[in-house]
A and B are shown apart, each in its own frame.
Chain A
Amino acid sequence: MKKFKILLLTALFLFSINLKLNAAGEQAEPIKIDWSFKGLTGKFDRSSLQRGFQVYKEVCASCHSMQYLSYRNLGEPGGPEFSEAEVKAIAASFEVSDGPDAQGEMFTRPGRPSDKFVSPYPNVKAAAAANGGAYPPDMSVLVKARKGGANYIYSVLVGYEDPPAGVTLDDGVYYNKYMIGNKIKMPNNLSDGLVEYADGTSATVDQMAKDVTTFLAWAAEPELEERHKTGIKVMIYLILLSILVYLSMKKIWSRIDSEM
């Protein structure tokens, strides 16, 4: 058994290498939030996801694309779980270009649940050109694409400050204590009461940042709840089978041991 302990220690060592890597950099350590989706049985907070989608739609979506998500995802289990009618209405509120039609022309039509999220810009270059040369990154997997994950995204959203003395910023560059290099081209877009939540939650900057981060965490890992649920079952199964196999092994080897 000691051997397996060592196996585990090796694995932990590998972990620590990775954690150390994550810690590299000069920006402040991200704020640690006790997200509901953390841990072995973590789940998303449905109402937070729905509010987060609202923040994304009303604030982020004017610059950031989410090209790998479809409107139907909003109604799928493990996500915001909007009703079928709500998903249809959300999709229909977007103009989607489609075609070519019988005449060979492209046309626009109201979105359907099967459509991908509409991008604010036709391509990366257009997006960069409209944003002072900095491409607002696609947010589909943003939480997985940043060291520190959800904590980092949340921290950046609430990390805007006046630059400390001695730091001069160019036009269109903002100071953010959690951003890599402390300089960010995205202005601080959140302000208290910016959106009006349907469920009556008060839309503080902190609340909006948490909600939209939760939404982005789901967008990056829509399988998270199913993964956790399956994982628990698999673990229980493996432990039970291990016990049976261990007992069988002892039984089988007892034939040899008794011979000796």
Chain B
Amino acid sequence: MSENYTPDSKVGKWFNDRLPLLSLASHLKDYPTPKNLNYWWTFGGILTFCLITQIVTGIVLAMHYVAHADLAFGSVEHIMRDVNYGWLIRYIHSNGASMFFLAVYIHIFRSLFYGSYKSPREVIWIIGILIYLLMMAAAFMGYVLPWGQMSFWGATVITNLFSAIPLVGESITTWLWGAYSVDNPTLNRFFSLHYLIPFLILGLVVLHIWALHVPGNNNPVGIDIKKPSKDTVPFHPYITIKDIFALLMFTILFAGFVFFAPNVLGHSDNYIPANPMVTPAHIVPEWYLLPFYAILRSVPDKLGGVILMFSAIFILFILPWLDTSKVRSAVYRPIYKQFFWILVIDIFLLGYVGAMPAEGLYLVLARVGTIYYFLHFLVVLPLVGYFEKTDPIPISISEPVMTGSANLGLAKKTDEKI
């Protein structure tokens, strides 16, 4: 094991005594991982890939992009038309944002289903939510950079959220803008921050993984495992090869968007240069922010809507203490499992109405969806954990596998359900 790892070569030993990078590599390689992890556990690796892809393509784009209100739109067209492979790199970056969120949502829902946020993994979860928040900030600011109509009006609407704050709201928005409306100074600072945030995320990802390696991975059965033991496999090559296979499947979908439908996830209005005199008929955020947008619009009060939208995210920070059940995996929680799927449907519903005009039936649905969202976390979770009669839990994960009964049935069960 890594704790007593000594490099073979003399030079390696000399170096490792001074900076134990080789010990770290050995730890990562041998890291005992539950052998029953399913494909939902591959999204951590996929997300790392997404982050690196965004950073690399982003650095390249910044070499050609001009952060100026008069030149930004043209510089993006310059990238698309003149820069060698510019179109490819930009489409990877713009679709990469969507793929990043797709992966992070699957990752979050996996955690919700298998109870990965519960003790002793609360800190991993909280760091994860911080990453998610920063991702939203980065994505929002990145969307402003092409300086199209949606960029401009998206920036206007989102920054105006802060004007809802009593007394100082107006000063805060003016401060955010650096002008009396979204303008060139806003674009410049958004570019600066958009460049910075991914590196903050990278730092948090290191902490996220560090915090993960303390208790080790949760697993589909959700029970604690001895490590290393028959229940675990070394991370390399077992988990790496599986992660790579899943990553390839993900990349096929990714490449499908980049090469054959690069603009389908975007909004056509963003190819119209920003015009402060004309608002587009329909302002919609990118798809990954739609559920929160629906919550915002479901409240007829400005401040109330803003508070509720931010609460919808911040409530996730206290999730580990809202869920009172000691059993982690939803596989053994018949009642929670049903509520989990209702929550999934609810969030899809919110996403759908977030894309629709805020009127009539859509508004009613948005309100129902919003109320259920909060009910799930504030009422359902504490109560279900308290009253639910859970199914019997296996003692270890390899034992049922050896008898070929419970875990096989379990694997099948999860397959069907998810």
Direct contact of A and B (CB under 8 A): yes
Hey, which bits of chain A sit against chain B, CB under 8 A?
2-4, 6-8, 10-11, 13-15, 17-18, 20-21, 24, 40, 67-69, 73, 137-138, 140-141, 144-147, 149, 180, 220, 222-223, 226-228, 230-232, 234-235, 238-239, 241-242, 245-246, 248-249, 252-253, 256, 260
Q: Is the interface of B mostly helix, strand, loop or mixed?
A: helix
* Bound-complex Cα distance A132 to B215 (A): 70
The 15 listed contacts between A and B (C-beta, < 8 Å) are A2-B415, A3-B418, A7-B106, A14-B265, A17-B352, A24-B282, A144-B271, A149-B268, A226-B87, A228-B260, A230-B88, A242-B245, A242-B248, A245-B244, A253-B242
Contacts A24-B282, A141-B271, A260-B401 hold; do A68 and B77 have CB atoms under 8 A apart? yes
Are B77 and A141 in contact (CB-based, < 8 A)? yes
CB distance from B231 to the nearest CB of A (A): 11
Are B271 and A256 in contact (CB-based, < 8 A)? no
**B335 within 8 Å of A (CB atoms):** no
* Bound-complex Cα distance A146 to B281 (A): 13
Chain A residues in 8 Å Cβ range of B268: 144-147, 149
Are B249 and A242 in contact (CB-based, < 8 A)? yes
Are B252 and A235 in contact (CB-based, < 8 A)? yes
Interface size class of B (residues with CB under 8 A): 35 or more
Q: Which of B245, B259, B269 contacts A246 (CB 8 A)?
A: B245
CB distance from B81 to the nearest CB of A (A): 6
Chain A residues in 8 Å Cβ range of B202: none
CB distance from A131 to the nearest CB of B (A): 16
Chain A residues in 8 Å Cβ range of B106: 7
Chain A residues in 8 Å Cβ range of B248: 238, 241-242, 245
Stretch at the interface among B115-123, B161-169, B188-196, B233-241: B233-241
Chain B residues in 8 Å Cβ range of A232: 259
**B263 within 8 Å of A (CB atoms):** yes
* Bound-complex Cα distance A17 to B282 (A): 14
Interface residues in B31-65 (C-beta closer than 8 Å to A) = 35, 38-40
**B272 within 8 Å of A (CB atoms):** yes
Chain A residues in 8 Å Cβ range of B281: 180
Are B255 and A231 in contact (CB-based, < 8 A)? yes
Contacts A235-B255, A238-B251 hold; do A144 and B241 have CB atoms under 8 A apart? no
Are A18 and B264 in contact (CB-based, < 8 A)? yes
Q: Which of B77, B242, B251, B259 contacts A231 (CB 8 A)?
A: B259
Apart from A13-B348, A40-B260, list 15 A-B contacts with CB within 8 A.
A3-B38, A3-B39, A3-B415, A7-B106, A14-B102, A20-B356, A21-B282, A21-B355, A141-B77, A145-B271, A230-B88, A231-B258, A232-B259, A238-B252, A256-B238
* Bound-complex Cα distance A235 to B257 (A): 11
Q: Which of B39, B74, B102, B355 contacts A68 (CB 8 A)?
A: B74
Closest to A140 in B: B77
Chain B residues in 8 Å Cβ range of A20: 355-356
CB distance from B105 to the nearest CB of A (A): 9
* Bound-complex Cα distance A245 to B243 (A): 10
Closest to B288 in A: A14
Chain A residues in 8 Å Cβ range of B242: 249, 253
Chain A residues in 8 Å Cβ range of B258: 231
Are B252 and A242 in contact (CB-based, < 8 A)? yes
Contacts A18-B287, A242-B249, A256-B238 hold; do A227 and B262 have CB atoms under 8 A apart? yes
Q: Which 5 A-B pairs have the closest CB atoms?
A: A231-B259, A145-B271, A223-B87, A68-B77, A144-B271
Q: Which of A73, A235, A246 contacts B81 (CB 8 A)?
A: A73
Contacts A17-B351, A21-B282, A227-B259 hold; do A68 and B238 have CB atoms under 8 A apart? no
Q: Which of A10, A14, A149, A252 contacts B241 (CB 8 A)?
A: A252
Chain B residues in 8 Å Cβ range of A73: 81
* Bound-complex Cα distance A223 to B351 (A): 32
CB distance from A150 to the nearest CB of B (A): 12
Closest to B149 in A: A145
Chain B residues in 8 Å Cβ range of A13: 348
Are A228 and B259 in contact (CB-based, < 8 A)? yes
Are A223 and B80 in contact (CB-based, < 8 A)? yes
Chain A residues in 8 Å Cβ range of B272: 137, 145
Chain B residues in 8 Å Cβ range of A149: 268
Closest to B74 in A: A68
Closest to A42 in B: B260
Chain B residues in 8 Å Cβ range of A245: 241, 244-245, 248
Are B284 and A21 in contact (CB-based, < 8 A)? yes
* Bound-complex Cα distance A73 to B88 (A): 18
Interface residues in B332-376 (C-beta closer than 8 Å to A) = 348, 351-352, 355-357
Q: Which of A17, A24, A68, A249 contacts B245 (CB 8 A)?
A: A249
**B390 within 8 Å of A (CB atoms):** no
Chain B residues in 8 Å Cβ range of A260: 398, 401-402
* Bound-complex Cα distance A248 to B272 (A): 48
Are A252 and B252 in contact (CB-based, < 8 A)? no
**B133 within 8 Å of A (CB atoms):** no
Q: Which of B233, B264, B265, B284 contacts A256 (CB 8 A)?
A: B233
Are B253 and A8 in contact (CB-based, < 8 A)? yes
Closest to B81 in A: A222
Interface string of B81-102 (1 = CB under 8 A from A): 1000001100100000010001
Closest to A234 in B: B255
* Bound-complex Cα distance A172 to B118 (A): 67
* Bound-complex Cα distance A11 to B287 (A): 11
Are A68 and B81 in contact (CB-based, < 8 A)? yes
